[in-house]
Structure 1
């Protein structure tokens, strides 16, 4: 019996290219030996993305749609998509075809070799600015130094996970998940395949600088306590700095109560605010968890059989609303 592969695709305002994506994936699927389902998760799109996907569902019964009630974010769209899959293995990829479907057979091959998780490792990135490439490279290397997990460099969310790994991912209930970090954290036997990341087929990036910064902060505060340790170090710096500067003023004859007071005050205030910011990031994550709100709200599902709908309805408290 042929394997079933689920492909999860988060969607946010992709009307310019979503039909091309579906057609490209359908051509790919038609040539493969495995059975496929395409699970699109509409993350509160304001355009016609969901409408286009629904139209395609009428012609293709292997296409599914999970529609959010509003925009909850790319990482939660992936999280929701995993819960609605039924495949023996699940592939997560972007809906803009920057992650090329021709890489999937290589992932499946590695899976059949015995690997539980196969992630795509980008060896080249087209259509991205130098600033984005540079900041991305800096984040991965900084994260690797700070985090308690050994997340591979230059990888995104494009990856294949077997059913065992997907089930473990569903047990994680972080309010602001950092999916690629979670996949590393659950362990299992993992490997990579290198690929050339393409330019977007249409539209604009859905990860502006503000969202990139939030994703980076979510990742670091989820998997590292070192920033909190740095805050403790910062508290000692004013004392050390003040002592060194006091010695300098005495040596140069510039010692006055005013110069010492102003210098130490400015230095101390800056460090205090920096430390408060670090503590605040962690405290905010704790508050989100304590509030225990649903991580996302699904307004509609389309294309799933009645059995799947019943299962997800009955399991809403454990899965969809967590």
Structure 2
């Protein structure tokens, strides 16, 4: 019999967990010829999420919970889930019900047709602000243009991946993980499942614009060196322009005896070049900081407890 495991990262989702379980379990009950499990990964929730999951586990032996020792971030929570599932197919889905569990049978159908990854591709994003939709669209298009790996546009973490793909992801050990990029990096046959993303069933998004900005930086620095190349190219361009302008000033002074331009123009040039230098020192710092994190080789996450149908490990 084929097996399916569903990974659900959870961070302060007490308002949606009951409804998520009802809808997802209804879908799993209708699957023929396939055993299924749901693994919740609690990423340091401070509300009643863990208590609600404990109650659900007592009622349904298909459910289990891994509770991380603190908030390590969603990428680490997803990694913990992938490290602890054993199934022919694995589905990653958020608990907020923006990604409909009712699409699971269609994902399974495409997987049975031979695809190792079936990723959800959003055609609409209801309930999200214009700014968030616009910045997300620009980010994915930027990554598509400059990244070393083709990351599908308008996709999130909602996807089905095969056992072979899960094993490949487990072999990747970097600390700074941009999962959307890693899902694409491993290759293997992939196909999009287009759908309209619903608004959150309840509660608020845990990603503010500052977290999204840092998330974007992780993606850019993990899968492209374009910012470093831009620093080199712009530096050469400024150096060449400075050489031409300096030659012009010298020739003009020798031939016509004009004095060197005064203080305002000099300060403008100095401040401009200084600003460019500081900006690209920051770019270098981002890459060096990530290299520093990799050399420490700390574990990506620590587990506080593992609960499987009431049994703690």
TM-score range, shorter chain: over 0.9
TM-score for the superposition, normalised by structure 1: 0.90
Matches within 5 A, 1:267-282: 267-282=272-287
- TM-fit CA distance, 1:38: 0.6
Greater CA deviation, 161-170 or 19-28? 19-28
**Equivalent in the alignment of 2:23:** 24
The whole-number CA distance in structure 1 between the counterparts of 2:259 and 2:93 is 62
Q: Give 1:154 shift.
A: 0.7
Cα distance per residue 1:251-298 (max 9 Å; x no partner): xx8952423421221011111111111111111110001111111111
Is the 1:238–1:264 contact (alpha carbons within 8 Å) kept by the matching residues of 2?
no
Q: Using the alignment, how far apart are the partners of 2:61 and 2:109 within structure 1? A: 26
Q: Deviations over 1:221-276 (max 9, x none)?
A: 1111111111112323433454576669x7xx895242342122101111111111
Do residues 289 (structure 1) and 288 (structure 2) align? Answer: no
Unaligned runs of 5+ in 1: 310-322
Q: How many matched pairs? A: 306
Q: CA RMSD in A?
A: 2.1
Task: Quote the Cα distance in structure 2 between the aligned partners of 1:241 and 1:264.
Answer: 11
For residues 82-115 of structure 1, the C-alpha deviation after alignment (integer angstroms, 9 at most, x for no partner) is: 1111111000011111110111111111111111
Map of 2:119 onto structure 1:
119
Describe the superposition over 1:140-188 as per-residue Cα deviations: whole angstroms up to 9, x where unpaired. 0001111101111111111100001001100111212111100100011
Preserved contact between residue 24 and residue 102 of structure 2 (Cα < 8 Å):
no
Matched residue, 2:8: 9
1:140 aligned to 2:145?
A: no
CA distance in 1, matches of 2:210, 2:176: 15
Inter-partner Cα distance in structure 2 for 1:24 and 1:99: 11
Alpha carbons 2:43, 2:71 under 8 Å: kept? yes
The answer to whether structure 1 residue 264 and structure 2 residue 264 are counterparts is no
Residue segments in structure 2 that go unaligned for 5+ positions in a row: 253-257
Larger Rg: 2
Q: Is 1:234–1:275's contact at 8 Å kept on the other side of the alignment?
A: no
Q: Give yes or no for the alignment of 1:61 onto 2:61.
A: yes
